[in-house]
Structure 1
Amino acid sequence: MAVQTKSSTYVNLVNMTATQISDPISGTIVTVQAAMKSYSMVKANTELGDTFHAAGSGLHLIYEALSSVKSRLPPEISNASLKLLDSCKAGATSSEAVFKEVSQAPSDTRLQSYTAFIKEGGRPNLVETLVGGLMKEICLLAEGCAVEVDLTALRRASDELEKMEPSVPIEQHKSDDSFSNSGSGSQYNSTGGTQNNATGNGKQFFGATFQGAVSFS
């Protein structure tokens, strides 16, 4: 029977918590550059609004931050940091897809194209959501890898994006109304407007106006 020594156990633990990597960020940086290129094609379009352009302008901060992290990233990182790298890659890819979609639309229909894209995918596809989320993940990555880079501007931009109005209004869809009463007695439900309830015998008058004397029997 094989005996696992203390030293071999330590090696296994290290392998579980750290991953040897060669160049995990370059692909993400290239994707961010592609998003920047797409945004540069629409940055003069005022119809897209302040929030859209704030997110687009933030791509440059993301590029600079990723470049700084790349130059200081240790050869071994934890599995948690590796997951953050994967998440950053996914966020950059989604961001690039949205900016590319808008840039490829005719100049006079770019807002409509962006609006249609958001209505299909929902709030997660808003550029401020994607870019702001990517900014936060880069900050977490730098902290997790103990990389000393100045991310003040990135954090400030992320906070500002959170405070801005949505780049496209998001409708709040109500779920189908459903009511159930498994007990005894009356149940009163209203999905809006005025609710009038008659709990006893006799007639009930809603908003009625009587001229002269009125008697009820």
Structure 2
Amino acid sequence: MNAAKRREIFLRLQAANPHPTTELEYRTPFELLIAVLLSAQATDVSVNAATRQLFPIANTPQALLDLGEAGLRVYIQRIGLYQTKAKHVIQTCRLLLERHGGEVPQTREELEALPGVGRKTANVVLNTAFGQPTIAVDTHIFRVSNRTGLAPGKNVLEVENRLLKVVPDEFKHDAHHWLILHGRYICQARKPKCGECIIESLCEYKEKVF
């Protein structure tokens, strides 16, 4: 795919959704970090349902630490892998207080040092909470990047590095959100909605579905 076609893809996505953001509900960088931690292998809908109950009770590292692992499990038990996630969240809160004065760090290295925080979670927090031009590659973005020919790669890190190389700078901050939403609602895994796709004429997928 050439640069002109890539640019047009993002111009169309931008025109359709000028100010994209995560579908996770949050008010502070800490709430976003916890929501993203909880969202691994779970839907944003299920996470939002839990945090609407949790955050009014505990939305700071100290408050969650005071709640404890058992107390946290009560709020997140309908989310997949909730027991492991409860353990990671409490450990993360403890480290935030011990190492960072209760604040969410703004570097990848510090974020990835927190329990349960991998590269994708760190990228989401850096981008969405702190405005850094990172691109977190999940299953949706991996699929869209490969299927369309936008930024093909054999694994998520290859796709991430390719996207960072080929996405024009002016679109880098929002690229993650546009691509994840496109994969979630249009370029779906089993049956892409090519007939509803605003970038269909630019897409290089050979098995389009109409």
TM bucket (normalised to shorter chain) is under 0.3
Which structure carries more relative contact order (alpha carbon 8 Å, separation 6+)? Answer: 1
**Larger Cα Rg: Structure 1 or Structure 2?**
1
TM-score by length of 1: 0.25
